[in-house]
């Protein structure tokens, strides 16, 4: 019923083969070729995107490099459906951050798109989260996909659980909220039995758990090989914590070595994930500065916030990502994240807020609070 | 080689106390040609206590008995100096404000002129008459036939004010108002623009050193537990400028006996009726709209987020947008948009793209924009029935409406935050329309092109800024000796 056209299936197979070569296989030419193929199909299949490109004088036959593919600003997903085959959508993920459903970005995935995402999750985690190949008990500080069907993080962590988790792995946010008692029990039993744990979930969930532990005077010494994976920032749902402090808390409260706390940049609009290199480098004995790593099926470019043109290496600007696994919607995505390129990958500084208020006009943030009646 | 090096202080205190100010650090602002060293004072309770003591004493000995006529003359002279293009402090302020805030020098110049031109002798007399009837009530007891006795108005001894915005030349209004009601005034500059207020007080010192002894401005980190509650405790009135959240949290720290006035963030909009949507005069009206959206780079609460255009006139809203876009471009040549943060630029690109896709999708939407930079944007759509704020920095949303009376319902929810409306209806509906806006909460209604230049007489944010500071004493006696 939701069968995709042959050309999409064939292309997906080529991309999956590319992804399955792993994260160490550098093949810029192969990436370029596939990126142009994906663009060609998206140009052909998504009329709105085609018009957007044509307005900019870009057509597949006119370009020879992935860098020329027009990027789609993330907010467009709030107002438009931009899937390649909307009638084949089997799963829709939505962005968080606002209470108004009409202001949440929506990205539809077809079967092939989900398969591509699954492949990226498995390959990237193999390199960056489980380079030791170890199976652990995965405890997830997030709701399950059944509870949060539109949350891409829930989907991704469920995959991690399936691919890499021991049987007692589980989600820890239920209908009644965060199941802290169960988490405590699971952590204690791991300590007792020596079963290493992978705790993963939203960054704010960790911080709230740390605060809880401090208040109750709880500490853990999790077995060697335990690790954390956090993503998504704080979003005003916990206190804001700097990376160094986060890692220190993992060490002090959970007893997890600092090299085993990994942060991931994931976005609803992007099928692939960008992991910190920390744990992989630690495992390989490499002393490289920490950065977010582009797996070979993705590229990231830093652009000037004023002109959206690429910036010289090292300068801070807005991150633009290219992801072959985005075959089902749009390959090139313009984000509003600030960051800069680093020798091994890139750094992301997030959507940091303005320091001091500038003018005296009511801001969009203030307006949102007023509308909510706060 | 640095051509221009300037050293300034982010504070102004009376002469006698000046050598007691310790400098805690120096902030450096620089671009290719200019470097500004801004000295930040180190503030503690002991110093503030001496400062407040000094301000109160000088007020009692001098300002409290100074005739209002003299005060007006001093303030008028200050405004005139600032209007003189060769006045050294003005020239310095143009450089510092522009470098620190990112506003272009042209924008700063236009806003200084607008502020000072409405701060002259006649403006002050009119404001005083409007708010308190007879300004002489400020000098001594005046016979009031209505009362059948004598009345006098007293200002607070000490006004404390917190400025937390970067709007150039805004703080001088508060010092003027304090002086007019014969109050000493201690202000806190905004970190976003800490240079204008100290320079303005220097001008007062040049003209009337004794009056300047009653005025001071300091710099400290906003929200510092120690200083603010301590300061509010000793004030007679507090005037707050700032964001909704900032003002809320500051208000909680003000003791009950202290009078508090709040100028929180608010917003503006414009409405043009079909009778004014004409070919004749189109370019001029479009220029006025463009000016409203470009002054202070749209960052003042006076600026419009949305202009509503009524359909059915000779010129369609879309056609009008083309004229506004052309005017925005011309204005940007003459008075360039300032430097903005990456987040602000990103917000503009993101919203432009959303509009562009709706346009590509065949919706009744039009987006016109500067390229490749974010200097200005005109985004047209049919009125969605809700008020969506603009990301500002010269991004104007234009909503087409079938009937101007469809506008007010969308404004109801944000009534208390409505500041300023430009209204040009051009037929007999205007009176009724204005009545409705007034009831909704709009504080000022003006014409397109005038949004950024309220007069001194304005009931700022809907309050009487002078009268609100005063308390009255009535004497129910007809005794000639009084």
Residue A69, φ and ψ in degrees, nearest 5: -70, 125
* Cα–Cα–Cα angle for A181, A238, B248, rounded to 5 degrees: 135
| Contact state of A364 with B346 under an 8 Å Cβ cutoff | no
The pTM for the full model equals: 0.91
Rounded-to-integer distance, Cα B163 and Cα B296, Å? 16
B77 CB burial (10 A radius; 0-12, 13-18, 19+): middle
Which of A52, A307, A357 shows the shortest C-beta gap to B165? A357
Which ipTM value was assigned to this complex?
0.93
pLDDT digits (tens, 9 = 90+) for A192-209: 999 999 999 999 999 999
Of B297, B347, B417, the CB nearest to A370: B417
User: Is B350's CB within 8 Å of A75's CB?
Assistant: yes
Q: Which of B303, B350, B374 sits opposite A361 (nearest CB)?
A: B303
Mutate to test the interface with A, among B338, B342, B370 (most CBs of A within 10 A): B342
More confident residue, A368 or B14: B14
Interface contact flag, B414 A80, Cβ < 8 Å: no
Contacts of A80 in chain B (CB under 8 A): 354, 357-358, 361
8 Å CB contact of B342 and A338: yes
The mean-pLDDT minimum among A154-158, A340-344, B342-346 falls in A340-344
Most B CBs within 10 Å, among A100, A310, A355, A362, to test the B interface = A362
Longest dimension (CA), chain B: 81
| CB atoms inside a 10 Å sphere around CB A103 | 14
pLDDT of residue A364: 73
Q: Is B394 left (phi over 0), alpha (psi -120 to 50) or beta?
A: left
- Taking Cα atoms as reference points, which of A175, A250, A165 lies closest to residue A205? A250
Average pLDDT over residues A111-135: 97
Tens of pLDDT, residue by residue, chain B (482 residues): 456 899 999 999 999 899 999 998 999 999 888 899 999 998 888 999 999 999 999 999 999 999 999 999 999 999 999 999 999 999 999 999 999 999 999 999 998 998 899 999 999 999 999 999 999 999 999 998 888 899 999 999 999 999 877 777 788 899 999 999 999 999 999 888 999 999 999 999 999 999 999 999 999 876 566 788 899 999 999 999 988 888 888 899 999 999 999 988 889 999 999 999 999 999 999 999 999 999 999 998 889 999 999 999 999 999 999 999 999 999 999 999 999 999 999 999 999 999 999 999 999 999 999 999 999 999 999 999 999 999 999 999 999 999 999 999 999 988 889 989 999 999 999 999 999 999 999 999 999 999 988 876 678 888 899 999 999 999 998 776 66
The distance of B314 to chain A (nearest Cα, Å) reads 30
Residue A55: pLDDT band by 50, 70, 90 thresholds?
very high
Cβ contacts below 8 Å, chain A against chain B, sum to 142
pLDDT exceeds 70 at position A351: no
pLDDT for A356 equals: 46
* A104, A96 contact by CB (below 8 A): yes
Q: Above 60 in pLDDT, residue A355? A: no
State whether B354 and A354 contact (CB < 8 Å): no
Q: Residue B190: list chain A partners with CB under 8 A.
A: 356
Per-residue confidence (pLDDT) for residue B456, from 0 to 100 = 66
Q: Which residue of B has its CA nearest to A374?
A: B245
**Confidence (pLDDT) at B264:** 86
| Dihedral sign, Cα of residue B352, residue B357, residue B359, residue B360 | positive
The yes-or-no verdict on residue A97 having pLDDT over 80 is no
What pLDDT does B477 receive? 84
């Amino acid at each position: 019923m939701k069968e995709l056209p042959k050309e999409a299936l064939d292309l997906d197979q080529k991309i999956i083969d590319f992804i399955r070569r792993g994260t160490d296989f550098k093949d810029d030419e192969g990436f370029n070729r596939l990126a142009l193929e994906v663009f060609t199909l998206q140009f052909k299949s998504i009329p709105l995107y085609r018009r957007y490109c044509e307005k900019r004088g870009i057509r597949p036959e006119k370009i020879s490099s992935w860098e020329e593919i027009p990027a789609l600003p993330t907010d467009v997903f709030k107002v438009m459906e931009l899937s390649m085959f909307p009638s084949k959508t089997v799963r829709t993920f939505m962005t968080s951050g606002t209470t108004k459903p009409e202001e949440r970005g929506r990205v539809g995935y077809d079967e092939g798109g989900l398969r591509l995402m699954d492949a990226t999750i498995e390959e990237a985690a193999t390199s960056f989260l489980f380079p030791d190949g170890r199976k652990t008990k995965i405890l997830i500080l997030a709701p399950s996909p059944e509870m949060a069907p539109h949350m891409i993080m829930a989907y991704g962590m469920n995959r991690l659980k399936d691919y890499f988790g021991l049987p007692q792995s589980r989600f820890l946010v239920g209908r009644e909220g965060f199941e802290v008692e169960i988490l405590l029990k699971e952590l204690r039993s791991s300590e007792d039995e020596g079963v290493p744990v992978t705790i993963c979930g939203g960054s704010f969930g960790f911080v709230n758990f740390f605060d809880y532990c401090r208040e109750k005077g709880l500490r853990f010494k999790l077995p060697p090989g335990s690790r954390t994976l956090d993503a998504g920032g704080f979003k005003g749902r916990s206190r804001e914590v700097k990376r160094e402090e986060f890692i220190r808390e993992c060490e002090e409260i959970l007893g997890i070595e600092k090299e085993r706390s990994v942060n991931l940049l994931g976005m609803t609009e992007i099928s692939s994930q960008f992991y910190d290199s920390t744990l992989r480098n630690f495992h390989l004995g490499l002393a490289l500065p920490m950065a977010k790593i582009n797996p070979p099926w993705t590229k990231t470019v830093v652009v000037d916030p004023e002109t959206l043109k690429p910036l010289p290496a090292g300068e801070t600007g807005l991150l633009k990502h290219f992801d072959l696994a985005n075959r089902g919607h749009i390959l090139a995505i313009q984000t509003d994240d600030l960051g800069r390129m680093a020798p091994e990958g890139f750094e992301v500084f997030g959507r940091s807020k303005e320091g001091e208020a500038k003018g005296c006009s009511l801001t969009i943030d203030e307006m949102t609070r007023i509308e909510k009646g706060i | 080689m640095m051509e221009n090096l300037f050293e300034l202080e982010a504070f102004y205190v009376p002469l006698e106390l000046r050598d007691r100010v310790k400098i805690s650090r120096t902030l450096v602002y620089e671009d290719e040609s200019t470097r500004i060293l801004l000295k930040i004072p180190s503030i503690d309770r002991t110093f503030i206590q001496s400062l407040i003591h000094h301000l109160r004493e000088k007020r009692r000995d001098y300002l409290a008995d100074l005739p209002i006529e003299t005060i007006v003359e001093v303030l008028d002279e200050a405004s005139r100096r600032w209007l003189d293009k060769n006045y050294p402090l003005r020239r310095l302020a143009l450089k510092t404000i522009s470098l620190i805030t990112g506003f272009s020098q042209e924008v700063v110049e236009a806003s200084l002129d607008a502020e000072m031109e409405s701060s002259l002798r006649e403006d002050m007399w009119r404001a005083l008459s409007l708010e308190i009837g007879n300004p002489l009530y400020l000098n001594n007891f005046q016979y009031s036939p209505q009362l059948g006795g004598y009345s006098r108005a007293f200002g607070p001894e000490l006004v404390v004010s917190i400025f937390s915005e970067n709007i150039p030349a805004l703080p001088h209004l508060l010092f003027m108002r304090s002086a007019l009601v014969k109050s000493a005034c201690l202000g806190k500059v905004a970190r976003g623009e800490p240079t204008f207020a100290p320079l303005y007080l220097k001008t007062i010192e040049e003209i009337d050193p004794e009056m300047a002894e009653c005025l001071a401005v300091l710099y400290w980190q906003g929200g510092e537990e120690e200083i603010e509650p301590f300061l509010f405790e000793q004030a007679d009135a507090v005037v707050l400028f700032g964001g909704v959240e900032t003002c809320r949290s500051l208000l909680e720290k003000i003791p009950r006996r202290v009078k508090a006035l709040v100028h929180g963030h608010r917003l503006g909009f414009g409405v043009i009726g079909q009778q004014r949507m004409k070919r004749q005069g189109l370019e001029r009206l479009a220029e006025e709209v463009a000016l409203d959206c470009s002054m202070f780079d749209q960052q003042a609460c006076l600026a419009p987020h949305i202009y509503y255009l009524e359909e059915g006139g000779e010129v369609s809203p879309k056609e009008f947008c083309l004229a506004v876009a052309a005017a925005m471009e011309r204005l940007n040549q003459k008075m360039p948009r300032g430097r903005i943060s990456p987040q602000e630029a990103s917000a503009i690109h993101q919203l432009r793209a959303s509009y562009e896709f709706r346009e590509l999708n065949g919706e009744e939407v039009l987006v016109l924009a500067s390229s490749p930079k974010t200097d200005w944007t005109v985004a047209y759509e049919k009125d969605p029935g809700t008020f969506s704020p603009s990301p500002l920095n010269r991004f104007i949303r234009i909503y087409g409406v079938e009937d101007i009376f469809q506008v007010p319902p969308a404004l109801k929810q944000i009534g208390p935050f409505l500041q300023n409306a430009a209204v040009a209806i051009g037929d007999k509906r205007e009176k009724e329309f204005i009545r409705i806006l007034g009831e909704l909460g709009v504080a000022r209604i003006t014409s397109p092109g005038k949004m950024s230049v309220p007069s001194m007489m304005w009931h700022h944010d809907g309050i009487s800024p002078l009268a609100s500071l005063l308390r009255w004493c009535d004497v129910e006696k007809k005794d000639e000796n009084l």
